[in-house]
Amino acid sequence: MRRQFEDGEPELMDRAGASPAHLERALASLRGLNRYFGSYRIVEHFLRRWVKPGDRLRVLDLATGSADIPRVIADYARRVGAKVQIEAVDFQPATIETARQLNAAYPEIVCTCSDVLTFSAREPFDLVICSLALHHFNEDDAVRLLRLCRELSRTFVLVSDLRRGLLASAGVHLLTTFIFRDRMTRQDARTSARRAFSFREFEALAFRGGWRNFGSTRFRFARQAIWLEPGAERWA
């Protein structure tokens, strides 16, 4: 099945006039999907590999949504005795406001309202993460985002997303029929399944973004990830 993406037709949660009430319900649904269908597990898999007791790391989470992934990172760092400072970036003001409220107990997380494609920083981060966002972009902008992730990191990069296929489409349809039933989640999730990249397309985008010797693998629940870590010729 081919990718279906229409420029000029953003998902409902990406639209400037998105209803705050609908957006809040959709963000809650997204947190549930992340928790139970793989996104948290993918991040935790790499945190166990990369974050050690006593580490002090600057972390960037691009297209953060309600910043649930940064909370996963902060909780893990607290458990193992590492120190993290996390910047969570999203372009939607209402989304960032929700993230700030949810992160009141996390002083190590700063939420920034910015377009991820034009985001810049004074110094690079130790770890850059982008979860479930690449399919929101056309191919050229997806390549720009992957290049930016690489440029903003001095050590680790992790990008994960949905993986297009019959399993993803069927699973999303069932979940949004019986469990996550609010209109924004239902429409956006089904759109996301059609817009997701295949595994080979995902790898090809990374090559176009200047990634070399990167890791890539498939995960359960139609998820996939690519990553950079020390030892890879990241700037080739």
For the cut 60, the answer to whether the pLDDT of residue 24 exceeds it is: yes
Report pLDDT for 235: 35
Per-residue pLDDT, averaged over 141-154, amounts to 98
Report pLDDT for 232: 54
What is the percent of the chain with per-residue pLDDT over 90, rounded to a whole number? 93
Where does the pLDDT of residue 48 fall: very low under 50, low under 70, confident under 90, or very high at 90 and above? very high
Where does the pLDDT of residue 224 fall: very low under 50, low under 70, confident under 90, or very high at 90 and above? very high
At 189 the three-state DSSP class reads: helix
- Please calculate the CA angle 211-142-222 and round it to the nearest 5 degrees: 90
Per-residue pLDDT, averaged over 73-99, amounts to 97
CA distance 196 to 137: 10
pLDDT: which is higher, 167 or 136: 136
Where does the pLDDT of residue 158 fall: very low under 50, low under 70, confident under 90, or very high at 90 and above? very high
Joined tokens for residue 61: 């989470």
CA distance 181 to 212: 41
pTM across the whole model? 0.95
For the cut 90, the answer to whether the pLDDT of residue 51 exceeds it is: yes
Joined tokens for residue 51: 């974050």
Which one-letter DSSP state was computed for residue 196? P
For the cut 50, the answer to whether the pLDDT of residue 149 exceeds it is: yes
Instruction: Please name each of the domains of the chain with its CATH number.
Output: 37-163+198-228 (3.40.50.150)
Q: CA torsion 189→193→194→195, rounded to 10°?
A: 90
E-state strands within the chain? 56-62, 83-90, 109-113, 125-131, 153-162, 215-219, 223-228
State pLDDT tens for residues 177-215. 999 999 999 999 999 999 999 999 999 999 999 999 999
CA distance 124 to 136: 25
CA distances from 11 to 5, 36, 153 (A): 11, 22, 28
